[in-house]
Structure 1
Amino acid sequence: MASRETDETGTGLHAAGITVVRGGRPILRDVDVRLATGGVMAVCGANGSGKSTLLAALAGLVPVAAGSVSVDGEAIHRLRRREVARRIAVLTQGAPAAEGFSVRELVHLGRHPWRGPLQPAGREDRRAVEWALDVTGTAALAERDVITLSGGERQRAHLAMALAQGCSYLLLDEPTTYLDPRHQLDILHLVRELNRTHGLSVLWVLHDLNQAAHYSDRVVVLAEGRVQADGPPAEALHPDHVAAAFNLRVLRLPHPETGQPLCVPSAEQDAPLRPDAP
């Protein structure tokens, strides 16, 4: 059995039996998940199931009461914050608009883990920023004030900032929130393409089960702070798991173009959730 201090496999981002407590209440309970190197994993679950807390724990942003988190075999709590930021970039939902910053200045903020507090940007910093602007399609927006951008443009700019960190692991908390369907698909496709072409390992919290299934290699379903299912999308999003996690009956129907299974809410549902339920 692998140690809870180090990960003997030495690869990936691994939460080993973690429990996270906030305000005296357990939010995550004995959760064990692994983001494989080069993989794309979606975390799904009802509101209050612990999705954002799991993402924060994997980034070392919240302490764990039990278990451990490791990145490429090293216990994350033993690494300096700057070293963690060089390996793991986090993009939270509803990131502030950074009024008064140009897109280029925003993206340069992603280089802070590589520079001292007063150290000016060097050649490697500029190269990383230009690359991030290019791959996210934001180079043409580089001199625009972030506050003037549309929702989709702003999300790409913040994604460029995360990529400028030079990370191996990218954690995204509901990256499609507040975006229209077209811009949602643009962001999902862009991140998946970065995974394929640059080997970026991705964990994202997604609400849309069909988007999670289509764009991810693996899906983790949380229910009340525990792992309800973890596996390939077709297995993890089985109607039984969806019913247990969301109190939602779904049908598995083939996509009319691709034949891939879709989760479609049934017309017959159980009693609605209590008003105080998450």
Structure 2
Amino acid sequence: MKLVFREYLASLRERDELDVVLPDLLSELGYNVISRPSTGPRQFGVDVAAVSPAVNGEQQLYLFSIKQGDLTRAEWAAVPQGVRSSIYEIVDAYIPNRVSNQYKGLKVVICLCFGGSVSEAVRDTLKGVIDRESNDRISFQEWNGDYMAGLLAHGVLQHQHVSKGLQSRFQKSIAMLDEPDVSIQHFTALVEGLVKTDNQLPVQRLATLRQMYICLSVLFVWARDQQNLEAPYRASEVVIYEPGSWSKVISKPRL
């Protein structure tokens, strides 16, 4: 399951994909998302801002700088959108000027977030910047593709005790993308199982919607890489159809 999510994250584009999935993942993990990606206004290196759940009575302000794929030397040194530039914009401008009074008393975690991994050519330079800019209030974390894949695997599909059978349905729907009829049968069984879970409270229903959305997004990205979008196209109908209509989608003829 973790491998499925890791390959999915590595294939996400930075804009309108990875930066859309991350806030939903954070919400699912109990973070309070206070700022989402936007176009137009300058963001000073911060794509997503969120307040963490309380640990030992203490919350922290997480500031996420998002980049697609691996963190290479080119991504590190690019001007003005490179990771190095983003770090200094966060430290020099965002933290002193953009953090609201409500959160000024919180410790800050600058979180470098990317779908792949850190290139060894960048690792020592990155460590040097982190060591220099860390202090009693500011610390750094690295959320690479492998780490976020673990959060998705253990946070999304195990929330509300999703059964191993449903997780297996999800994996099979991806494995059978070259056979859309089979893939859609497994995905439909997954959605039906998620909806049948005891989710009467609004927060539980919202969690179920996030689960379906993220699973659909994973299915789409894998299908895009295989250049065969029939299964996710039909799966999107499964997600929005009335429960009583799902059987119609399964039997829908090929496009």
Q: State the TM-score bracket (shorter-chain normalisation).
A: under 0.3
TM-score (ref. length: structure 2): 0.25
Relative to total residues, which structure has the larger strand share, 1 or 2?
1
TM-score (ref. length: structure 1): 0.23
Relative to total residues, which structure has the larger helix share, 1 or 2?
2
For CA contacts below 8 A with separation 6 or more, give which structure has more relative contact order: 1
